């Protein structure tokens, strides 16, 4: 692996060096132009977000003066597989204004990526908003840092989900699609806090359309959204919020899997089980955006739970998942079952999906024997949506997969579904539920596997993605 990485780096700089230059000095169509800072020269490492407050945490008065999605600052970045092997694309980070779940102004950051080359059919380039399963409690775990060349390797920091899902981002870029990857957990690393994550996602789409170097078609850009597991939280909430929060966006479809529709059900499912470590981190993350819940946790948590929560604070997903599996989560709280307390019930209700029906086609896929995200609440969510005759939901339940394997197996089917949406193919009217043995056995997806793997291997050796 080390030899291959070294060869790829050498080949990338020898063959593609000039293409790494910034394509444009300024950007900001639809909002005041901002100066775009050049990328750091390799091997200069980028600052981790906690020590890069000027970009990640601009002054509150500047943030409040902007409209949601309006860009505050921008800089070019170099992306790399395993933080070493350069990815031959044009990429930038944008800092922009968004809102938290109480509609208070906050700063947000997203990575916007443009393939090199035109689209497959010559049509205007669509935009995919890819919500990674960050599932972490520190800003250094955010995708904007994890995807960068010369960043601290994600295999060390524990940001394994964002690091691995960068390969899925590359699969989307290979289709000729532009991609925006928001740091949807926001400035407080609020893992599992859906209301703020949905707003940051929608404002990230606005920012990408506002950014001139992306060469998109402004508000007429066709947009898709995708997210799995922790990424389903911002995707699902953004889908439900679009018609009231960002009605001008032309979102033609949203795909989500491993859907965390009901956080209370996740706590019940993880209690004394393998997933207790990561679900406990979700409780911490939600409380960072909910002052009432934070006060409840602080009042009711016992000393053992307090020590556990302190140990998890600021860890990335691999390490906070491995701290305290198979523990009694509810037993860390005094005063009976915490899920039955009115304060906790209200907090969980605010984070639950199903509060409104998305006004876009939805592709939902779920492992039936999922050990982390139970299928029952997903069935309920689909039923809730489908009570509305205008809903368009294609729901696939996979019976041979589990939580981790389904994400990989479903990549080609998601790409095919999004291809149709971007091509203007009409989505199904109404709702359908399909039970399959394995989603990977669909022969229509096999050529997509071949194309994706071939493009990504070529990309490791310097081929421009999407060209």
pLDDT reported for residue 119: 76
Average pLDDT over residues 302-328: 93
Q: What is the pLDDT of residues 385-408, one digit of tens each?
A: 999 999 999 999 999 999 999 999
pLDDT above 70 coverage of the chain, percent: 93
The answer, yes or no, to whether residue 276 has pLDDT greater than 60, is yes
- Give dist(CA 20, CA 91) in Å, integer: 9
- Give dist(CA 255, CA 392) in Å, integer: 12
The answer, yes or no, to whether residue 410 has pLDDT greater than 60, is yes
Tell me how long the chain is: 467
The answer, yes or no, to whether residue 347 has pLDDT greater than 70, is yes
Residues 6+ apart with CB under 8 A from 357: 240, 384, 385, 388, 390, 391
Q: What is the pLDDT of residues 142-153, one digit of tens each?
A: 999 999 999 999
- Tell how strand 71-76 and strand 90-99 pair up: antiparallel
pLDDT reported for residue 25: 34
Average pLDDT over residues 252-263: 98
Residue identified by tokens 């380039």 is: 125
Average pLDDT over residues 283-288: 96
pLDDT reported for residue 303: 96
pLDDT reported for residue 32: 61
Mean pLDDT of the chain, nearest integer: 92
User: What confidence category does residue 131 fall into, taking pLDDT thresholds of 50, 70 and 90?
Assistant: very high
pLDDT reported for residue 123: 84
User: What confidence category does residue 461 fall into, taking pLDDT thresholds of 50, 70 and 90?
Assistant: confident
> Smallest Cα–Cα separation from 136: which of 83, 184, 69, 68?
184
Average pLDDT over residues 236-260: 98
- Give dist(CA 306, CA 46) in Å, integer: 33
pLDDT reported for residue 65: 97
pLDDT reported for residue 97: 98
Residue identified by tokens 């969510």 is: 381
Output 217-221 pairs: Cβ under 8 A, ≥24 positions apart. Answer: 217/124, 217/125, 218/29, 218/30, 219/30, 219/248, 219/249, 219/250, 220/124, 220/250, 221/124, 221/125, 221/126, 221/127, 221/250
pLDDT reported for residue 1: 37
- Give dist(CA 191, CA 162) in Å, integer: 13
The answer, yes or no, to whether residue 7 has pLDDT greater than 60, is no
How far is CA 195 from each of CA 106, 117, 242, 246, 378, rounded to the nearest angstrom? 13, 36, 12, 14, 18
Tokens of residue 93, six digits: 């980070």
Average pLDDT over residues 128-157: 97
The answer, yes or no, to whether residue 179 has pLDDT greater than 60, is yes
Residues 6+ apart with CB under 8 A from 210: 27, 28, 29, 30, 31, 69, 70, 71, 96
pLDDT reported for residue 20: 32
The greatest distance separating any two alpha carbons of the chain, rounded to the nearest whole angstrom, comes to: 65
> Smallest Cα–Cα separation from 101: which of 350, 285, 295?
350
The answer, yes or no, to whether residue 21 has pLDDT greater than 60, is no
User: Which of 71-80, 98-107, 417-426, 456-465 shows the lowest per-residue confidence on average (mean pLDDT)?
Assistant: 456-465
Higher pLDDT, 120 or 4: 120
Average pLDDT over residues 310-329: 92
Average pLDDT over residues 87-104: 97
pLDDT reported for residue 9: 40
Higher pLDDT, 398 or 428: 398
User: What confidence category does residue 14 fall into, taking pLDDT thresholds of 50, 70 and 90?
Assistant: very low
pLDDT reported for residue 252: 98
Average pLDDT over residues 159-178: 96
């Amino acid at each position: 692996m080390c030899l291959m990485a070294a060869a790829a780096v050498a080949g990338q700089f020898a063959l593609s060096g000039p293409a790494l230059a910034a394509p444009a000095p300024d950007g900001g169509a639809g909002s005041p132009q901002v100066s775009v800072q050049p990328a750091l020269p390799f091997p200069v490492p980028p600052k981790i977000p906690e020590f890069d407050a000027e970009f990640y945490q601009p002054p509150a008065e500047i943030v409040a003066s902007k409209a949601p999605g309006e860009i505050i600052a921008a800089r070019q970045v170099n992306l790399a597989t395993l933080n070493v092997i350069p990815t031959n694309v044009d990429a930038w980070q944008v800092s922009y204004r968004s809102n938290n779940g109480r509609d208070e102004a906050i700063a947000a950051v997203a990575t916007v990526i443009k393939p090199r080359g035109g689209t497959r059919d010559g049509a205007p380039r669509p935009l995919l908003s890819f919500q990674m399963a960050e599932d972490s409690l520190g800003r250094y775990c955010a995708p904007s840092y994890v995807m960068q060349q010369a960043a601290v390797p994600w295999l060390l920091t524990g940001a394994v989900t964002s690091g691995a899902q960068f390969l899925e981002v590359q699969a989307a870029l290979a289709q000729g699609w532009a991609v925006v990857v928001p740091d949807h957990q926001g400035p407080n690393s609020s893992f599992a806090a859906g209301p703020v994550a949905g707003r940051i996602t929608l404002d990230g789409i606005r920012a990408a359309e506002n950014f001139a170097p992306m060469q998109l078609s402004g508000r007429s850009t066709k947009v898709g959204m995708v997210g799995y597991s922790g990424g389903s939280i911002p995707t699902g909430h953004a889908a439900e919020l679009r018609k009231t929060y960002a009605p001008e966006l032309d979102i033609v479809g949203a795909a989500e899997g491993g859907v965390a529709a009901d956080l209370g059900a996740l706590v019940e499912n993880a209690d004394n089980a393998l997933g207790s470590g990561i679900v406990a981190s979700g409780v911490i993350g939600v409380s960072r955006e909910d002052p009432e819940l934070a006060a409840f946790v602080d009042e009711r948590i016992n000393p053992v739970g307090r020590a556990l929560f302190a140990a998890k604070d600021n860890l990335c997903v691999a390490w906070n998942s491995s701290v305290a599996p198979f523990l009694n989560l509810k037993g860390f709280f005094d005063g009976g079952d915490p899920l039955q307390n009115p304060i906790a019930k209200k907090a969980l209700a605010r984070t639950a999906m199903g509060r409104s029906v998305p006004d876009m086609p939805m592709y939902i896929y779920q492992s039936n024997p999922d050990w982390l995200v139970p299928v029952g609440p997903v069935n309920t969510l689909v039923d809730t949506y489908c009570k509305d005759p205008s809903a368009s939901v294609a729901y696939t339940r996979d019976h041979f997969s589990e939580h981790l394997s389904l994400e990989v197996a479903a990549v080609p089917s998601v790409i095919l579904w999004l291809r149709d949406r971007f091509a203007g193919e009409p989505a199904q009217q109404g709702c359908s539920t399909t039970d399959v043995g394995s989603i990977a056995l669909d022969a229509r997806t096999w050529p997509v596997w071949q194309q994706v793997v071939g493009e990504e291997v070529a990309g490791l050796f310097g081929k421009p993605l999407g060209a």
